[in-house]
A and B are shown apart, each in its own frame.
Chain A
Amino acid sequence: MSTVTVQLFASYAELLGAPTVELPITPGTTVQDLLIRLRSLPGASSLPVTPRVAVNRSFANPDQLVAPSDEVALIPPVAGG
Chain B
Amino acid sequence: MKRASIISREIDPASLLNEVSSPQYGAISLFVGTVRDVNEGRGVSAIEYSAYQSMATAELERILDEADARFGVSALVVEHRIGLLGLGDISVAIAAAHPHRAPALDCTRYVIEEIKKRVPIWKKEHYADGTREWVDPTRAAEASTA
Contacts and interface: CB of A to CB of B under 8 A. Distances in A.
A3 to B, nearest CB: 20
B9 interface: no
Contact of A11 (B91, B116, B134): B134
Interface residues of A, number: 18
Nearest to B139: A77
Contacts of A80: 49, 51, 56, 80, 92, 115-116, 119-123
Interface in B52-77: 52, 54-56, 58-59
B138 interface: yes
Contacts of A10: 50, 122, 124, 134
A73 B52 CA distance: 9
Given A10-B134, A57-B58, A79 B122 contact: yes
Interface string A61-81: 000000000010101111111
Nearest to A9: B52
B118 interface: yes
A59 B118 CA distance: 9
Contact of A79 (B55, B59, B112, B123): B123
B136 interface: yes
Contacts of A73: 52, 55, 120
Interface of B: 33, 49-52, 54-56, 58-59, 80, 91-92, 112, 115-124, 134-139
11 contacts: A7-B52, A10-B50, A10-B124, A10-B134, A54-B52, A54-B55, A71-B54, A77-B137, A79-B116, A80-B51, A81-B92
Given A76-B122, A80-B56, 13 more contacts: A9-B120, A57-B55, A57-B59, A59-B118, A71-B54, A75-B120, A78-B118, A79-B121, A80-B49, A80-B80, A80-B123, A81-B91, A81-B121
Instruction: Pick the 5 closest A-B CB pairs, nearest first.
Output: A80-B121, A10-B122, A57-B55, A79-B135, A11-B134
